[in-house]
A and B are shown apart, each in its own frame.
Chain A
Amino acid sequence: MVEYPEIDLFSSLDSPIHRFDPRAKIVAFLCLIFSVVLVQDLRLAFAGLLGSLAFLAASRLPLRFVSQHIKWVSFFIVPFLLILPFTVKGDEIFRFYALKMTYEGLEYGVLVALRAYSAVVLVLPVVATTRFDLTIKALDRLKVPNMLVQMLMFSYRYIFVFVVEFQRTWRAMEARGFKLRTSPSLYALRTVGKALGTLFVRSYERGERVYQALRSRGYTGTRNPKTLVEFKMQARDYALAVLIVGFAVALHAVSFVFARGV
């Protein structure tokens, strides 16, 4: 059995976020994402993260699934948290030989991390609570450039095919005694490189055949591929959208007040 990298594995659960109209979901959460990443105040960034977590909790996505995805993003966020406190100039907190940790640096590092985590946390309720094909169709209905929609659609379809293909190659290599783990030598790495190269060549050839198949069924490239899908906004979709966008606006309204008053 193949393990697929499925982002919409839990799209069949039921929650207010799952029932949310995909188009409104994308627009509303995108507003919120922009809002939280543009927040300048540490307290508000924290509030933003809490709000994001609340929406994530409302989506009822399993914790393991969530942590799995956040884990990978941490590889990019944690370095900021570690490096910024020592590189930004300002009031010194403590010194370790030549390394100087500053208050401003720490604040900036935490701010960046909070904003980044909020954004990542918010992406999950958007893409993981709708079947991915519906997300793509929603993007199409939202008038996202057709070229992008097509690229997304075909990438989504063929990523699974390529995963299987590479796994097959990998198994064939292992079946003939190839091991990467125990001896990551230059030879081994070169072999992996070649295997990847083969995958590229094969994908290229497949691309050609897929194009022939597309053409055989009337594909012309423009305003294509069209899909049939029915989205219907209901009162509760509007309500939820207003709530999310309202939160996004509130963060900045408060930050405006802070800037004035404090």
Chain B
Amino acid sequence: MKREAKRREAKKREVKKREVKKREAKKRKAEAVTVRDLSYTYPDGSKALEKVNMKVYEGERVVIVGPNGAGKTTFLLHLNGTLRGTGGEVKLFGRTLGEMKREEVVKEVGMVFQDPDDQLFMPTLFDDVAFGPINLGLQESEVRERVRKVLALLGLSGYEDRAPHHLSFGEKKKASLAAVLAMEPRVLVLDEPTANLDPRSRTELIGILNRLNEREGITMVIATHDVNAIPELADRIYALNRTVIESGTPWEIFFDGELLKKNNLDVPDVFKIFEVLQCFGFSCESLPLSLDEAVAGLTRTIETEGGHIHLHIHEHTHEGVERWRRKYEHH
């Protein structure tokens, strides 16, 4: 019993510590990534990025959305100096990236590529995860410890000697995240982390990312098409199409129908369903973007409206549904 109490106490302390850490980070609001007027022209002359401006604060999760070919991957490759812009600058924690040493940049920014086969280049999982820490010049015991820790964190313990071609796609995806996390970066850049994952792996990965953000305070920049994952993954959204078209909280972006339509952006399914419910007379203060919000919203509405919700067909229902349909016509 005593031990139990002690453990609970320790846990409480830890939670408190984390909260303090988070609050401090928020107070500081230091800029982790600052991008100013970044432009990039491909060697063949086609423009990939034009005067992109972006600020990502420490501990923030920023999602970048945009159609195929909008320059998302190209943009991400600038964040760790893999590509150098043809104009403008990128700053990491206040320091200009161009003036930092390669090792310093690599240590601060971890990049998870879209195709895990691009990233898992070593013959075994252990070698791959150890690759980064070894390059950071860490002692062998420290490298081994980091590999052990990271593999345990991602549920890949026991896979050390596996060759990448013997892993499933989901495992490969987690492995490539592990390989980057072993370097303990302060900023994590992810290109389509949920693409091609089965629903369970997808949920798992989103959970892992959010835990990393909460517990370790890792700043995240994520490019994704997975619109249903955005409410769970984003503090702020940037809509990118060669240049930044719009930025704001998920709520601000998803409520701007004009913007969505103009840029071929989609909204989460939950949001759409509640828009339809509104046409049927459902009233709530704000439309939910995620399932959790939906549950909270429904509970609140039912409580305030005397134990039930009321849906009906009124004179504007069909008109409203028609308008709703037109709003998402491009899909």
- Are A209 and B106 in contact, CB atoms less than 8 angstroms apart? no
Asked if A131 contacts B161 (CB within 8 A), the reply is: yes
The answer to whether the Cβ of A219 comes within 8 Å of any Cβ in the partner chain is yes
Say yes or no: is B44 at the interface (Cβ < 8 Å to chain A). Answer: no
Contact of A217 among B115, B123, B132, B165 (CB under 8 A): B132
Contacts of A161 in B (CB 8 A): 117, 165
* Interface residues of chain B: helix, strand, loop or mixed (majority): helix
Minimum CB–CB distance for B77 against chain A, Å: 7
Q: Are B122 and A157 in contact (CB under 8 A)?
A: yes
Q: Among residues 95 to 131 in chain B, which have CB atoms less than 8 Å away from a CB atom of chain A? A: 102-103, 106-107, 109-111, 113, 115, 117-124, 126-127, 130-131
Bound-complex Cα distance A217 to B109 (A): 9
A213 touches B134 (CB 8 A): no
B180: interface (CB < 8 Å):
yes
Chain A residues whose C-beta falls within 8 Å of the C-beta of B131 in the assembled complex? 217-219, 225
Contact indicator per residue, chain A 196-224, by CB within 8 Å of chain B (1) or not (0): 00000000001001101111111110001
**Are A156 and B123 interface neighbours, CB within 8 A?**
yes
Q: How many Å lie between the Cα of A157 and that of B162 in the bound state?
A: 12
A228 CB, min distance to chain B CBs, angstroms? 6
A160 touching B165 in the complex, CB below 8 Å, given contacts A132-B123, A218-B135: yes
On B, residues with C-beta under 8 Å from A are 77, 80, 82, 102-103, 106-107, 109-111, 113, 115, 117-124, 126-127, 130-132, 134-136, 140, 143-144, 161, 163-165, 179-180, 183
A213/B127 in contact, CB under 8 A: no
Q: A154-B121, A206-B118 are in contact. Are A217 and B164 (CB under 8 A)?
A: no
A133 to B161, CA, bound (A): 9
A residues 211-262 touching B (CB-CB < 8 Å): 212-220, 224-228
Q: Does A4 contact B (CB under 8 A)?
A: yes
B123 engages A157 (CB within 8 Å): yes
Cβ distance A257 to chain B, nearest Cβ, rounded Å: 45
Using known A-B contacts A133-B163, A209-B113, A228-B144, determine if residue A218 contacts B118 with beta carbons closer than 8 Å. Answer: no
Q: Which of A136, A157, A217, A220 has the most CB of B within 10 A?
A: A217
In Å, the complex CA distance between A226 and B122 comes to 10
Cβ of A153 under 8 Å from chain B: yes
Which residues of A are found within 8 Å of B143, using beta-carbon distances? 228
Query: How far apart sit A5 and B93, CA to CA, in the bound complex (Å)?
Result: 47
Cβ A157 vs Cβ B82 within 8 A:
no
Docked Cα-Cα span, A214 to B127, in Å, equals 13
Q: In the bound complex, how far is the Cα of B118 from the Cα of A194, in angstroms?
A: 24
CA distance A210 to B116 in the complex (A): 10
- Which residues of chain A are within 8 angstroms of B136 by Cβ–Cβ distance? 218
Q: Note all chain B residues with C-beta closer than 8 A to A133.
A: 122-124, 127, 163
Q: Are A157 and B164 in contact (CB under 8 A)?
A: yes
- Which 10 pairs across A and B sit closest by C-beta, in order of nearness? A218-B135, A133-B123, A160-B165, A217-B132, A209-B118, A216-B111, A213-B119, A218-B106, A212-B82, A226-B134
